[in-house]
Amino acid sequence: MTEGPGPGGPRLAAAAKSVRHNAAMFLTLPTLLTWARIVAIPLIVGVYYLPGVTVEVKNLSATVMFIVFALTDWADGWLARRLNQTSAFGAFLDPVADKFLVCAALLILVELGRVHALVALVMIGREIAISALREWMAQIGASRSVAVHMLGKLKTSTQMVAIPFLLFDDRLFGLIDTRVWGSWLMYIAAVLTIWSMVYYLRKAIPEIRAKAR
């Protein structure tokens, strides 16, 4: 007499399907582009430790890599929507990869003496603080109050122009002194960093007080 599938059969099949789904979620094209931003960090750092390479070549290589990998932030979101491959994991990993890439670039620039350590500290500290605040607000069901605002987008845009300018550290097209322009843009980004943090805190405090009652 043959036996039918035991009571655990459907559960095992469902578990196997879930495992395959989760594995696929980590390996979609948009997610791989997001992972690439994290992989880029040791590559950009490593450029400055290459022996026998001129500073100019190191600067140019780091700048090109930063720009290429930074552009994947736009590409992965576009592809995820285009290919219908949006996922909760992708939504989590995307901002994490962005922050890793920017923070690593800031630390490189501090080491090279092109960004003041205090400026980098303000920017990195803000990212940690706002990430923690958003996590907290999500837990109390008030994440909308700290949704991305135009100030945050403007801060990010300014940062993403300032960083490659400072990595390049030369005259662009023989006209634009990227060290000067990059420094000014970085200071503007620092001001926007503080301004946007204050904005998010002001939006969050009433929600926190209301939940505490």
Condensed to tens digits (0 to 9), the pLDDT of residues 76-129 reads 777 778 878 777 777 778 888 888 999 999 999 999 999 999 999 999 999 898
In-domain check, residue 1: no
Domain end (from 63, 84, 112): 112
Range of the domain at 195: 115-213
Whole-Å CA distances, 4 to 7, 8, 11, 15: 9, 11, 14, 19
Residue 106 and residue 54 in one domain: yes
Unique residue bearing structure tokens 């559960």: 11
pLDDT class of 63 with cuts at 50, 70, 90:
very high
107 with 170, same domain: the answer is: no
Same-domain status, 40 and 108: yes
- Between β-strands 171-172 and 176-177, what pairing exists: parallel, antiparallel or unpaired? antiparallel
Domain boundary among 112, 140, 166: 112
pLDDT given at position 167: 95
- Domain closes at, from 81, 112, 143: 112
Distance of CA 17 to the CA centre of its chain: 31
Residue 196 lies in a domain: yes
Same domain, 136 and 70: no
